[in-house]
Structure 1
Amino acid sequence: MHAPYDTEQQPVVLDRRTGPHGEVVLRRHGGLLQIIANGTFLMDTSDGRSERLLVDAARDALGPLDDRPAPSVLIGGLGVGFSLAHAAADPRWGRITVVEREAAIVDWHRTGPLAPYTAEAFADPRTRIVEADLVAHLHAPAPAGHPGYDALCLDIDNGPDWTVTEDNDSLYSPAGLAACAARLHPGGVLAVWSARPSAGFEKALRNAGFDAVRTEEVAVARGVPDVVHLGIRAA
């Protein structure tokens, strides 16, 4: 989810789908691929720095990994695949689960124009793709015997204060944050991408019982920086 590109070329729609959550479009604009949902620009293939920071900041917040099993991560939102590809390129991660509600986006990665960005990650035996609504997935009781996660890396909106659909608002509510905490191991990390800082969301994380709440910025050429909000589930 980045600021749009600077090019005089007109965008070309490669695919357009309508599903339960509205319209999702994949288009090419110059050398970039872009995802548009219900008319809102979500992300493109221009950079990926903030998506990589999302994954690395969550891993680093877990502390030293030398004397423990490889940590598991749930990535909420497949997007253009930067977060997944970065996690899969890091041998320190163990189980990698991606939850994506738009079947079209999964298709674009499996056999479409986005495949070059994630082909190796999709083939990685650690990777599991779950086609489901992230909010519903987290609110649902975990299956019996499910081991939970060491990290949740969530990137399904332009931030807690700028959601793609109204249904996503509940993810950042007290009940939604409680559902996130319930899927994390004690000491596990919740990392949430945002196009702008949110002091209100930091407060919500603390009120939900998360420790060591902080915000890491991603430098941008101009304007407000992207950020990653972080909190640790209390032991």
Structure 2
Amino acid sequence: MLPRETIATASIPGSENTLTLISHGRDFVIMLGRDELMGTRMQFSEEQLARLTIAELSAKTPRILIGGYGMGFTYRAALDALSESAEVRVAEIVPEVLEWASGPLAELTGDTLEDPRGDIVLCDVGALIDDANDGTCEKYDAILLDVDNGPDGVVRDPNDRLYTRTGLAKAREALNPGGILAIWSAAPDHKFTQRLIGAGFDVEMREVRARPNNKGPRHTIWFARRK
């Protein structure tokens, strides 16, 4: 059996939790404590978060906000699916995650950090949602959230506000009419579905496998459209 090797660790701002980057043969994993947050063997559902959302957008040159860079699966999938005139903004709260992207994960990252359509910002995604609401920046055609393992603040307590009725209402107002809020989760949560509906969205929930060809664990993605 191949050993796991710790490459680096990072503290999470606003949390006592720690992220650990681990190599396992040719694969990489980011751990939150003892729990696996993401890894290169099971990235399909995070890519689908971008692809399935973009396929539903009517805007020809969408403006997209992604909450959480992670290993860049969602970001790269968005770039692959978008036109040359689209915009993708990414909010990442942990500085070391971006250092890993250009360091030990550079082969995975490729040249996407230099893509002119992308803008990676070191901040809380909630702050960028607030900016769209107060007119500091333009509104978005889609907001993709993969900052926790589901609709609660697992990674850091301040993330809880993203999934409250108030937080969801703010996300809704940060979208252009017909825009989509898409949220990745490791498991379904029917109460959260009702919360999205209560916040004024038309909601569809889909199960997506973690690996292509219908393999791996089943993950959940909510697609909540602003009416």
TM-score scaled by length of structure 1 = 0.86
Name the counterpart of 1:216: 206
Identify which range, 24-33 or 141-150, moves more after superposition.
141-150
Report if aligned partners of 2:54, 2:81 keep a CA contact under 8 Å in 1.
no
Question: Whole-Å Cα distance in 2 between the matches of residues 173 and 39 of structure 1?
Answer: 27
Match of 1:25 among 20, 28, 32: 20
Question: Whole-Å Cα distance in 2 between the matches of residues 223 and 44 of structure 1?
Answer: 12
Question: Whole-Å Cα distance in 1 between the matches of residues 37 and 143 of structure 2?
Answer: 20
Identify which range, 223-232 or 173-182, moves more after superposition.
223-232
| Residue 222 of structure 1, CA deviation | 7.2
In structure 2, runs of 5+ residues without a counterpart are none
Identify which range, 192-201 or 22-31, moves more after superposition.
22-31
Report if aligned partners of 2:182, 2:223 keep a CA contact under 8 Å in 1.
yes
Aligned-residue CA RMSD (Å): 2.1
Cα distance change of structure 1 residues 143 and 104 upon mapping to structure 2, 3 Å threshold: farther
In structure 1, runs of 5+ residues without a counterpart are 1-7
| Residue 145 of structure 1, CA deviation | 5.2
Report if aligned partners of 1:35, 1:41 keep a CA contact under 8 Å in 2.
yes
| Residue 225 of structure 1, CA deviation | 1.1
After TM superposition, the runs of 4+ consecutive aligned structure 1 residues lying more than 6 A away are none
- Look up the equivalent residue of 1:124 and give its one-letter code: D
Question: Whole-Å Cα distance in 1 between the matches of residues 33 and 131 of structure 2?
Answer: 26
Match of 1:106 among 98, 102, 121: 98
Identify which range, 18-27 or 100-109, moves more after superposition.
18-27
Name the counterpart of 1:48: 43
Local SS of the residue matching 1:190: strand
Residue 155 (str. 1) matches residue 134 (str. 2): no
- Look up the equivalent residue of 1:208 and give its one-letter code: A
| Residue 183 of structure 1, CA deviation | 1.4
Question: Whole-Å Cα distance in 1 between the matches of residues 134 and 204 of structure 2?
Answer: 31
Local SS of the residue matching 1:225: strand
TM-score scaled by length of structure 2 = 0.88
| Residue 37 of structure 1, CA deviation | 2.5
| Residue 114 of structure 1, CA deviation | 1.5
Report if aligned partners of 1:89, 1:121 keep a CA contact under 8 Å in 2.
no
| Residue 133 of structure 1, CA deviation | 1.7
Superposed CA deviations along residues 20-43 of structure 1, whole A, max 9, x for unmatched, are: 233221110222111123443210
| Residue 142 of structure 1, CA deviation | 4.7
Name the counterpart of 2:192: 201
Question: Whole-Å Cα distance in 1 between the matches of residues 153 and 217 of structure 2?
Answer: 14
| Residue 170 of structure 1, CA deviation | 1.5
Name the counterpart of 1:192: 183
Name the counterpart of 1:228: 221
Report if aligned partners of 2:205, 2:220 keep a CA contact under 8 Å in 1.
yes
Question: Whole-Å Cα distance in 2 between the matches of residues 142 and 183 of structure 1?
Answer: 5
Superposed CA deviations along residues 196-223 of structure 1, whole A, max 9, x for unmatched, are: 1111111111000012x11111135678
Aligned residues, how many? 221
Superposed CA deviations along residues 52-85 of structure 1, whole A, max 9, x for unmatched, are: 210112112224xxxx541111111111111111
Question: Whole-Å Cα distance in 1 between the matches of residues 108 and 80 of structure 2?
Answer: 12
Name the counterpart of 2:73: 82
Cα distance change of structure 1 residues 83 and 140 upon mapping to structure 2, 3 Å threshold: same
Q: Percent identity?
A: 34
